[in-house]
Amino acid sequence: MAERAGRLEGKVAVVTGGASGIGRATVLCMAAEGARLVVADLNGAGAEAVAGEARAAGGEAISVRTDVGEEADIARMIAAALDTFGQIDVLHNNAAVTSAELLAGDAAIEDLDTELWDLTMRVNLRGPMLGVKHALPPMLARGRGSIVNTSSTAGFVGDGVYGAYGASKGGVNAFTAYVATMYGKRGIRCNAVAPGLVATPNAREHFDPALLEIYESNHLTPTLGTPDEVARVVAFLASDEASFVTGQVIKVDGGLLSHFPTWAQIHRPTA
Ligand SMILES: NC(=O)c1ccc[n+]([C@@H]2O[C@H](COP(=O)([O-])OP(=O)(O)OC[C@H]3O[C@@H](n4cnc5c(N)ncnc54)[C@H](O)[C@@H]3O)[C@@H](O)[C@H]2O)c1
């Protein structure tokens, strides 16, 4: 839970992919900071369960089953925020293709199923674009709004797998800068967070333990990240405390991309 309650008092926030992992943690963190929440997810029951958790903790929250790649769903999601709470201050575009089954196919490019490429772009990149497209009119009407996209360290560097995923996140980084540039003078800020490996239940269940160990040793922090550690940065960017921060992709990666994972493996003081 958040350490400083009230940073989002009076604000209405929409969180996509809010049914689990980082999205769920962000919903709960923002609710603790005083925001009223719309929890959107393809998993409607999961979204409602998280909205219920926020309400049980004393917050106000509704859920909307939403496929972020579907424009009619996004329009419905924004309409639900306006109908229920009368305004929208924050949009957190967080949903992405994270299923282990699908990501398993995101490997050798010469064998890549182009439908998987299209699905990845549809959810990870078209989704945030649709969210911004539909959240902008009510935000611009009030001359204020904060958009926070979820990117990834995979949007900055290459790796042995996940070329489609990484390309989609690189697109998120560029889109973030464009939205910030186009709408900053009209009161809209747009930033992104780029998490390193966050040990969500999904990651713990599906990642090979050997791979988790490689990740852990290359994060400079003692452990991998937690969903709440990302959520707190999202809540900060969403809040007025970040009023002079826009167009940024903030790495929330335990220092993963700040070093060469070579000599550091050998010459590093351990506990
Ligand atoms: N966990 C990590 O290590 C990590 C690292 C870097 C970036 N990220 C990013 O963080 C974000 C959240 O990931 P997570 O690890 O919490 O994953 P997660 O699997 O716990 O949550 C993703 C949520 O998105 C939802 N979703 C999937 N497709 C959707 C669609 N079409 N419409 C609406 N909702 C949809 C899922 O139902 C799920 O609830 C993603 O953007 C992911 O790319 C995660």
Based on the residue annotation, tell me whether 215 is a catalytic residue of this protein.
no
β-bridge mates for residue 40, sequence order: 16, 64
What is the mean predicted confidence (pLDDT) over 48-74? 98
Q: The domain 12-251 is classified under which CATH number: 3.40.50.10090, 3.40.50.720, 3.40.50.2300, 3.90.1300.10?
A: 3.40.50.720
What sign does the dihedral 258-263-265-269 (CA atoms) show?
Answer: negative
- For atom 14 of ligand 1, the residue with the nearest CA is 21
How many C-alpha atoms does 26 have within 13 Å on its Cβ side?
A: 35
R_g of the chain, CA atoms, integer Å: 18
pLDDT number for residue 173: 99
Tens of pLDDT, residues 125-164: 999 999 999 999 999 999 999 999 999 999 999 999 999 9
| Alpha-carbon gap, residue 233 to 94, rounded angstroms | 13
Secondary structure element (H or E) that encloses residue 142, with its range: helix 127-142
Mean pLDDT value of segment 154-180? 98
Residue pLDDT, tens place only, 102-113: 999 999 999 999
pTM of the model: 0.97
Q: How many CB atoms lie within 10 A of CB 189?
A: 24
Hey, whose CA ends up nearest to atom 15 of ligand 1? 21
CB atoms near residue 157 (< 10 Å): 10
Q: Which of these is catalytic: 162, 165, 178, 183?
A: 165
| Domain ranges (residues) in the chain | 12-251
* pLDDT tops 70 at residue 2: no
DSSP element (H, E) containing 217: helix 209-218
DSSP 22-44: HHHHHHHHHHHTT-EEEEEES-H
**Distance (Å) from CA 135 to ligand 1 centroid:** 20
Residue 3 has pLDDT above 90, yes or no: no
pLDDT digits (tens, 9 = 90+) for 185-229: 999 999 999 999 998 888 888 888 999 999 999 999 999 999 999
With the most atoms of ligand 1 within 8 angstroms of its CB, the residue from 38, 53, 98, 214 to mutate is: 98
For the CA atoms of 74, 22, 230, 249, the dihedral, rounded to the nearest 10 degrees, stands at -40
Range scoring the smallest mean pLDDT among 81-85, 134-138, 175-179, 267-271: 267-271
Ligand 1 atom nearest to CA at 67:
32
Predicted local distance difference test score (pLDDT) of residue 1 = 45
